[in-house]
Amino acid sequence: MPPITTPTIPMTLATPTTPPTMVRTKTNPTPLDVIFILFASVVLVVLIVSFTPIGGTQPFQNLPPWFVKAVSSIWTLLFAGAGTAGTLALRRWLDRSPTPNYFVWISVFTVGLLGAGTLDAYVIQKQTPSILPPVTATIEMPRAGDTVHRTFTCKGRATTAPNTHLWLVVEVNSFRWPKERELQVRPDGTWESTVYEDGASPRFSLAVYSADPQAEEFINEWIAAGTSSGDYKEMDAIPGTVRLARVDDLQIAPK
């Protein structure tokens, strides 16, 4: 009887498989990357606003004052520049992983910061009604009851507002005569004007009036007509004006 042979089953040792290597196609910013991108964007905003004229018709003329002041400071530029360099060096030292596309991220952050500033100027500020400062005026010289010459100096203080003009006006009874030129208020709030009074009345009052643009035009036309004809007609009212101050009982000194 032939011997019984046991079939031999070939044994194959399983080779451990290595997990597939994952290749990072996108690199998300780390916290240090975000800080670096933010600092770099601030530096760009500072440079853009600093080297772009703010007035006239330039693109950033309507940026709110707080925004322009914040980014126009040399200390802001120094701080942001130091933060940019320091954060990038720290990122390179602590984390060797691939960096995100800084060009894209910094561009997005820069546009976002500029957009936030213009949003405040064009949306928030336009929805908030502007409050104009009050227009005030005083006459400090001459004082009520003073005797003055035909030509005398008048002084006082005033605060103005946009589209508001100040005029000296001589009053006799209920009639009014604006004087030669508009008052110019100095930066310190004072004004001074030389008045020539050749009216027939020996006593008169002197007042400061505020005038809107229409009243300003009306007064200038009245002065031009009087200069041309030599006759400055009295007015019982000047539309668009408000009396702010007056001194009474001024007297012309006898010759």
Where are the domains positioned within the chain?
31-127, 136-252
Stretch 75-86: mean pLDDT, rounded? 70
pLDDT of residue 64 exceeding 90: no
CA 105 to chain centre: 30
Give me the long-range contacts of 157-160 (CB less than 8 A, separation at least 24): 157/189, 157/190, 157/191, 158/183, 158/185, 158/189, 158/190, 158/191, 158/208, 158/244, 159/133, 159/134, 159/135, 159/185, 159/189, 160/135, 160/185
Instruction: Say if domain 136-252 classifies as CATH 1.20.1250.20.
Output: no
Cis check: omega of the bond before 142, within 30 degrees of 0? yes
The better pLDDT of the pair 23, 114 is held by: 114
Give the distance between the most distant pair of CA atoms in the chain. Answer: 168
- pLDDT tens for each residue of 42-57: 777 766 666 554 444 3
pLDDT of residue 10 exceeding 60: no
* Adjacent-strand bridge partners of 78: none
Residue 238: the pLDDT is: 86
CA 198 to chain centre: 45
Residue 26 corresponds to which tokens in the numbers above? 């996108």
Residue 160: the pLDDT is: 86
Place of tokens 């005033």: 158
- pLDDT tens for each residue of 89-118: 777 777 767 777 777 888 887 787 777 766
Distance CA 182, CA 212 (A): 12
